Structure 1
Amino acid sequence: MKRTLLYIGMLFSAISCGRNGDRLQTGDLLFQAGKNSDMTGAITAATGSDGRLNFSHVGIAVAANGADSVLEATTDGGVRLTALPEFLGRSAKIGGRPAVVAMRLKDTTGVTAAVRRAKKLRGLPYDYAFRPGNGAYYCSELVWESYLREDGSPVFPARPMNFRAADGTLPQFWTELFARRGEAVPEGVPGTNPNDMAREAALEEVFRWF
């Protein structure tokens, strides 16, 4: 029985990582289309575009000889390290496979330092305020703050944030979230999102799981 369970575990690992899993490198960015939820729906409504896969989340790969993990900022754990199979399991599915795309910086000079900076932020809370410099992080903010050029400037630019859907309406999720916080929606405040980040010319696709 134990041997059967071991074989099943090995098979699951192979399916999860796919035929390209052995090419994952520390510092690769994993862009994820998340399962439907109020937050992922609000994110993709505000940042998605027709004809493209809409990413609602991004994490940083930490490759470790078959025990790969993802450094990410999540609503249920803040900045944390997550096992890769768990990360993939939370994804939406395309053809039964995780809707996740791995991308890599074309210039990997500063990637080791970027991952080191990101690891130092483990344990910090999720940034529900979506504002920079408050000691909390949402997923793409973690990447934005960690991936820096030699002069200290961010590799990925911050742009005025948009929380509105394509028709100009504000999803109820955002209205209720910021009402509970007693804050104005940070419309126009500089920030990042996974969709914009995935389209940056500094990145190239390495592989996808679907």
Structure 2
Amino acid sequence: MPSLLLFLVMLVAPVLSAQAAPVQPQNGDLLFVTAARTGLSGAIHDATGKQGAASYDHVALVAHEEEGEVVLHADEKGSRAQDLDSFLADARAKHRQVIVYRLKGEARTAIPAAIARARTLLGKPYNFTYVQDEGSYYCSDFIERAFRAQHVFATQPMNFKNLQTGEISSYWVDFYKSKGMEVPQGAPGTNPNDMSASPVLERIGSAL
């Protein structure tokens, strides 16, 4: 019996080790950051989260440079390039996971042009209304625009209704009221959860 147990441990240990090892992001990968369940992140989850799936509130694009990988993304600091290690450290400090997704098949041919396009979108302010315009971007909007010429991702009617109740949550009502706006239910847009479910993407694993 001890010999059998030792054999099973030796058999399973490499598998568990491989599963636990963090994934090294590659050029063109998309990094999805898991959402909290309160505040803005919670409201995004309630409106766009998928049953039984991880919920995300941010997405970024990995680009290779001579000095190493950087992340091109739009966050509250605007659309910017950030060192990959710094990006991962920010997520770690917030107790979030960063999940690596990779383009599949023909969609991979879009990567060089998308990265080049993303670089032209840097330096713009963050779009805090999530209503698309040409002067500011939010996270999944930035990614969709980077790949737009290759038709990799698409916009769709935005949903702000709680998926459980079918009602627009008070969070969104108050959020847009503070900006002097009605909730833009149905306006064209994007979100990280729907983007992560795209058939052109393959989930690779955790970068943290």
TM-score, normalising length: structure 1 = 0.78
In structure 2, the residue corresponding to 1:109 is in which secondary structure?
helix
Contact preservation (8 Å) 2:100, 2:206: yes
**Higher mean Cα deviation, 81-90 or 155-164?**
81-90
Contact preservation (8 Å) 2:37, 2:45: no
Residue 71 of structure 2 corresponds to: 70
Q: How far apart, CA to CA, are the structure 2 residues paired with 1:190 and 1:38? A: 23
Q: How far apart, CA to CA, are the structure 2 residues paired with 1:41 and 1:55? A: 10
Question: 1:19, CA displacement in angstroms?
Answer: 4.3
Contact preservation (8 Å) 2:32, 2:100: yes
Contact preservation (8 Å) 1:33, 1:92: no
Going from structure 1 to structure 2, the CA distance change for 1:29 and 1:185 (only over 3 Å counts) comes to: same
Q: How far apart, CA to CA, are the structure 1 residues paired with 2:66 and 2:202? A: 23
Q: Which amino acid aligns with 1:112?
A: P
Going from structure 1 to structure 2, the CA distance change for 1:153 and 1:131 (only over 3 Å counts) comes to: farther
Q: Which amino acid aligns with 2:40?
A: M
Query: Identity of counterpart residues, as a percentage?
Result: 34
Backbone CA RMSD of aligned residues:
2.2
Residue 12 of structure 2 corresponds to: none
Runs ≥4 in structure 1, deviation > 4 angstroms? none
Q: Indicate yes or no: 2:169 matched with 1:168.
A: no
Within 5 Å, which residues of 2 pair with 1:75-154? Answer: 75=76, 77-91=77-91, 99-106=97-104, 107=106, 108-148=108-148, 152=149, 154=151
The unaligned stretches of length 5 or more in structure 1 are 1-17
Going from structure 1 to structure 2, the CA distance change for 1:35 and 1:82 (only over 3 Å counts) comes to: farther
Q: How far apart, CA to CA, are the structure 1 residues paired with 2:201 and 2:132? A: 23
2:152 to 152, 155, 161: 155
Question: 1:35, CA displacement in angstroms?
Answer: 4.3
Residue 7 of structure 2 corresponds to: none
Q: How far apart, CA to CA, are the structure 2 residues paired with 1:91 and 1:162? A: 26
TM-score, normalising length: structure 2 = 0.79
Question: 1:91, CA displacement in angstroms?
Answer: 3.1
Equivalent pairs, count: 184
Q: Considering only CA atoms, is the larger Rg found in Structure 1 or Structure 2?
A: 2
Residue 6 of structure 2 corresponds to: none
In structure 2, the residue corresponding to 1:56 is in which secondary structure?
strand
2:23 to 20, 28, 46: 20
1:191 to 173, 189, 192: 189
Contact preservation (8 Å) 1:158, 1:191: yes
Residue 14 of structure 1 corresponds to: none
Question: 1:171, CA displacement in angstroms?
Answer: 3.0
The unaligned stretches of length 5 or more in structure 2 are 1-20
